[in-house]
Amino acid sequence: MTSWAPHTPAEIDEMLAFIGVSSLDELFRAVPASLRLATGLSIPDGIGEPDLMAYFQELAAANAPIGRDLVCFAGGGAYDHEVPAVTKALASRSEFVTAYTPYQAEVAQGVLQALFEYQTMVARLAGLEVANASLYDGAHALVEAVNLAVAATGRSAVWVSEGVNPRWRENLITIARARSESHVIHIVPLEQGVGVTSWSTRESSADATSEPPAAIVVANPNFLGCLEDMERASALASAHGAELIVAFDPITAGIIESPGSAGASVAVGEGQALGAPLSFGGPYLGLFACSMEHVRRIPGRIVGQTVDVDSRTAYVTTLRAREQDIRRERASSNVCTNETLLAIGAAVQMAWLGTSGLAEIALRSARGARYCREALLGIPGVRLAATAPTVREFAVCAPVSGEVIVDRMLDEGFLAGVALTREIAPQGFEGGLLVAVTERRTRAEIDAFAAAFEKAVSL
């Protein structure tokens, strides 16, 4: 057995005597005898560190990670961007890693100030005034944004572009189903072959005017990588007096118009690309920013600057009256534990990239994607599934399905993309393949990828 409890047998005896009981079992006398496990848990006894490590190495060897086994052309909400040693080193400082939520501000200035800097940078990326201290992931940020809009407007209809990440939409619908009176989700399809939201299909529906929406939700770039007509989305939101919620991407934000300047009152996003490894999908980082008018409805924690008794600058979690521990069933959200460590890592990553670096990786990703797209479109039978402008990610169709392409290219050492299977594809885009190219893909890798792709689609 490995035990991290330090007590020696002699100490245990002494403590039991001090308490006035004769055995450890007696400490549990409040547990009815009929509920006690007679022979303990039916799992193996503990093992030591070397055996533990060996077992997990075995598990790890049964996976095909990016870098060691596969070159990554997959995105779909999880991207292979550069994570430098400095981000890994600072985000694994054990003072950050092993702290709890900063309830005692006087001994938590490190986490609090890092979050203040994170909030500032996220607000700047989003082009909005405030950001919170993080949510679980992109899907969670979307759910909270919709809850905010419903509460702020007192309306129930929500128009959600089918270009929003399908897994996030599924999470939203899972939760909305339980509150069918206050949350009526309408999914607005994408224009076939083009890939941007076809708002007119919703506008012309019978209930569009009788039941004006609480929010218009659009992703830019969307799940197919396409840039949306933000003027159109914003005009639509204004015309209906609805909140505009934009799901944005923190990397392409280096060159693309920000949600705020496009008219959004709430911006949400997945922050994994800001310094977190692919991690088989978690822990990731929910980005959430909004305009000042909604600050009292923000879900989760916000750090504010203030002073201490001696008027020195200090930081503290603030507007606490919104939160579950004080407001209970009337809280703006139930979130308690969030993703602070990922937020600190993102702050380090954003500072490491800096103003020029973020724009640079966005630009380099766009260049790589262009180069890759041209190479793939040169292959007979391959065409774009969506023709709207893209940045880092694009969707193609080929004579064989995306699933088959991914399957065949694994043996060539590529994770070729995210297959647009029936479960996740926006209507009309089934069978395609979503290809993402980050600043980490070299020309040589893309050339080899295109060659393998040609083989995979012609077999």
Ligand X SMILES: Cc1ncc(COP(=O)(O)O)c(C=O)c1O
Binding to other proteins in span 205-264, by CB under 8 A: 227, 230-231, 253-258, 261
Q: Is 44 one of the binding residues for other proteins (CB under 8 A)? A: yes
Q: Which is nearer to other proteins, 153 or 171 (by Cβ)?
A: 171
Q: Which of 436, 459, 458 has the alpha carbon at shortest distance from 80? A: 436
User: Using CB under 6 A, which of 24, 54, 64, 336 touches ligand X?
Assistant: 336
Tokens 């009256």 -> residue: 321
Name residues contacting other proteins, limited to 363-402 (CB under 8 A).
363-364, 366-368, 370-371, 389, 391
Query: Taking the CB of residue 443, how many other CB atoms lie within 10 A of it?
Result: 12
Q: Is 94 one of the binding residues for ligand X (CB under 6 A)? A: no
448 binds, among ligand X, other proteins, none (CB under 5 to 8 A by kind): none
User: Using CB under 8 A, which of 443, 451, 455, 459 touches other proteins?
Assistant: 443
Q: Which of 128, 129, 180 has the alpha carbon at shortest distance from 158? A: 180
- Pattern 20-39, binding to other proteins, x per CB under 8 A? xx--x--xxxxxx-xxxx--
Q: Is 72 one of the binding residues for other proteins (CB under 8 A)? A: yes
Q: Is 422 one of the binding residues for other proteins (CB under 8 A)? A: no
Q: Are 309 and 148 in contact (CB under 8 A)?
A: no
Residue 191: φ, ψ to 5°: -70, 130
Q: What b/e string do you get for 269-304 counting C-beta neighbours within 10 Å, with b at 16 or more? A: bbbbbbbbebeeeeebbbbbbbbeebeebbbbbbbe
**CA–CA distance, 412 with 307 (Å, rounded to integer):** 59
380 binds, among other proteins, ligand X, none (CB under 5 to 8 A by kind): none
Task: Select the span of 193-201, 207-215, 233-241, 277-285 touching other proteins (CB under 8 A).
Answer: 277-285
User: Using CB under 8 A, which of 204, 209, 210, 337 touches other proteins?
Assistant: 337
Q: Which helix (H) or strand (E) holds 414?
A: strand 414-415
User: Using CB under 6 A, which of 337, 356, 411, 422 touches ligand X?
Assistant: 337
Q: How distant is the alpha carbon of residue 136 from its chain centre?
A: 7
User: Using CB under 8 A, which of 22, 170, 238, 455 touches other proteins?
Assistant: 170
Dihedral (CA of 123, 358, 171, 245) sign? positive
Q: Which residue type, as a one-letter code, is found at position 369?
A: A
Task: Select the span of 98-106, 188-196, 200-208, 240-248 touching other proteins (CB under 8 A).
Answer: 98-106
Site of interaction with ligand X (CB under 6 A): 336-337
